[in-house]
Each structure stands twice: as C-alpha cells, then as structure tokens.
C-alpha cells in the first residue's frame, strides 16, 4: 500500500524531468483513471492508501506519458464543445481552438430548428460535425475523411453519441466520392495546414503520436486550401456558409485563395486567445 500524496509527488517530479509543462494536471488525470478517485479526493485525503493493483495500473499509464504519449490517447477520450469523443492515434485530438468554427457556424444560423445539410471535410474524430449536429436537432450531416481508420472512429462516436441516424460517413479524397451535384448549407473543414518544414518544431506529443496526414500540408501548409478553394464554391447552396480552420499566420494567404471563388463576404475570425483561427465564407 502507498499514500496517494507520495505517489502523486513522485510522479509529478518524474514528469517534470521530461520537460512536461502540465505535470500536476496530467498526474491527476492518470491517477483518476487508475483509481476511480477524483482530484478533490487527492487534496482532501492525501494519506489515503491505494492498493498494489491500482498502483501498478497507474505506473503503466505514467510510463506511457513519460514517453510523451498525449493524455487524450492514454485515456482514449477528449472533451470538445459539450461532448466527449473517443480518440486514438488514428485521429487528430480535438483542440479547443477548433470550437471557434462551431461558434461561428452557430452565429450564422438564425433558425436552429431548420433542416440544414452540413458537410464536414476531414472529419477525424467527428468532433466538428457531431458538435454542430448536437445544436441543430433537425439538421443532417455528411462526414468525409481520406483515412478509413479516422472515419471508423467518427462513426463510432456518432453511434455512441446517438447521431447515427443524422450523419453519413464517406471515405473520400475531399469530395471525389460525394454524389455529383450535391450542395450543402454549411461546410466545416479543418484541413491539414502545418508546413512540412515545421515538423521538427512540434512537441514530441504531437509529432510522435498524431497522424501526419492530419497535420501536414505542402506549399508552406497551404496546399489543401488551394484544393479546397477550387472545390468549395461548387458545393454551396445560395446563402450557404463555409468555415475553415486556419493557422494563426495563414489568414491573409487563405483570403487570397478564396476571394476569387464566388464568396460574397470573407471574414477572419479569432479564437479565444485572440489569434486568427477561422476563415468564414458567405455564398
């Protein structure tokens, strides 16, 4: 038997030595997963003893974190918007910054009870489309990804969260496999946009564990926007809106790509940290 306080302090020290900047939080999440106790219990009952099985479970989880595996992948889940998504190394871990797209999309829809057709290009875990569907009870979704493993995960999330009747999933290189001529009222897209040259600067948690297909794009990160700039106008209904995530230094280059595509209004929207995060197009 060992006291929680001792296990916790030792683990934080070890994680700190790997350059981890969120050691305390990470240890609490892993201890919670291994013991079923909450971080409040760790504070209120630091002398509480945990048994050998729970201690071994915790050590296994800690070993994975010491190798820089992201907490979301160790726990197999990540909260996004108001939902919890299953995640794995086959999808991008949903980022809070991407909630900027959901907020912007919701602002553009005055009647939430309308039946809208929504397309999510590069769905990953399904976090964008399923979060938006959770706010629009009569809308219908189409989720596309080029990765069959990511798409399986998105389907599983739709089933777990109860959206399977309102969302279809299509394995496709962007829109190649979509029925020709189909149009959408809302398009969401968080494409890969990190310049390949920046790979070395990424945290080991990201570079070593997240799918490179979800992260990197050629042409200084702009290649997929170039492709989407040609595709999007033909997919939108009159009065439709598209919301694409951008890297915080890509706003002007993205505007230049989309300005010749028939959008009536193009805006750059900031995330909660005040950085450019989304390009919004009104058709």
Ligand X SMILES: C[S@@+](CC[C@H](N)C(=O)[O-])C[C@H]1O[C@@H](n2cnc3c(N)ncnc32)[C@H](O)[C@@H]1O
Judged by the rule CB under 6 A, the positions of this chain that interact with ligand X are: 91-92, 94, 98, 122-125, 127-128, 144-147, 150, 173-174, 190-192, 213-214
Smallest gap from Cβ 221 to ligand X, in A, equals 11
* Residue 37 or 170 having the CB closest to ligand X: 170
Smallest gap from Cβ 147 to ligand X, in A, equals 4
Task: Estimate the crossing angle of helix 127-135 against helix 99-107, to 10 degrees.
Answer: 30
**Cα first-last separation, the chain:** 64
* Residue 32 or 198 having the CB closest to ligand X: 198
* Residue 4 or 228 having the CB closest to ligand X: 228
Please tell me the distance from the alpha carbon of residue 73 to that of residue 25, in angstroms, as a whole number: 15
Tally: H helices and E strands in the chain: 12, 13
Which residue carries 């050629």 as its tokens?
A: 218
Smallest gap from Cβ 252 to ligand X, in A, equals 20
* Residue 35 or 229 having the CB closest to ligand X: 229
Smallest gap from Cβ 179 to ligand X, in A, equals 16
Smallest gap from Cβ 93 to ligand X, in A, equals 7
* Residue 15 or 232 having the CB closest to ligand X: 232
Bridge partners (DSSP) listed for residue 195: 217
Q: For 198, which DSSP code?
A: G
Residue 61 to residues 33, 54, 114, Cα–Cα distance (Å): 9, 11, 45
Smallest gap from Cβ 168 to ligand X, in A, equals 15
Nearest to 277 by CA among 250, 240, 258, 256: 250
Smallest gap from Cβ 17 to ligand X, in A, equals 31
Phi, psi (deg, nearest 5) at residue 142: -130, 125
Spell out the alpha helix ranges (H) of the chain. 4-17, 23-35, 39-44, 52-66, 71-75, 99-107, 127-135, 148-161, 204-207, 212-215, 223-231, 251-258
* Residue 7 or 154 having the CB closest to ligand X: 154
């Amino acid at each position: 038997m060992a006291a929680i306080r001792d296990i916790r302090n030792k683990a934080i020290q070890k994680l700190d030595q790997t350059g981890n900047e969120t050691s305390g939080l990470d240890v609490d999440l892993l201890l919670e997963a291994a013991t079923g106790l909450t971080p409040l219990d760790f504070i209120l009952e630091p002398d509480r003893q945990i048994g050998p099985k729970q201690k071994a479970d915790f050590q296994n989880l800690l070993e994975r974190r010491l190798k820089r595996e992201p907490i979301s992948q160790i726990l197999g889940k990540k909260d996004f918007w108001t939902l919890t998504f299953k995640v794995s190394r086959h999808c991008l871990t949903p980022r809070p910054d991407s909630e900027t797209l959901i907020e912007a999309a919701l602002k553009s829809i005055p009647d939430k009870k309308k039946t809208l057709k929504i397309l999510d290009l590069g769905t990953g875990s399904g976090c964008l489309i399923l979060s938006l569907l959770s706010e629009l009870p009569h809308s219908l979704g189409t989720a596309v990804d080029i990765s069959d493993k990511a798409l399986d995960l998105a389907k599983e999330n739709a089933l777990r969260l109860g959206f399977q009747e309102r969302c279809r999933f299509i394995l496709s290189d962007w829109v190649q496999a979509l029925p020709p001529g189909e149009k959408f009222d809302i398009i969401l897209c968080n494409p890969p946009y990190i310049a390949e040259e920046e790979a070395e600067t990424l945290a080991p948690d990201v570079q070593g564990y997240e799918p490179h297909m979800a992260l990197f794009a050629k042409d200084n990160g702009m290649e997929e926007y170039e492709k989407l700039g040609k595709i999007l106008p033909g997919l939108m209904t009159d009065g439709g809106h598209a919301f694409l995530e951008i890297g915080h230094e890509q706003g002007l280059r993205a505007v230049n790509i989309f300005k010749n595509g028939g959008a009536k209004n193009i805006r750059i929207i900031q995330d909660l940290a005040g950085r450019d995060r989304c390009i919004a197009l009104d058709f």
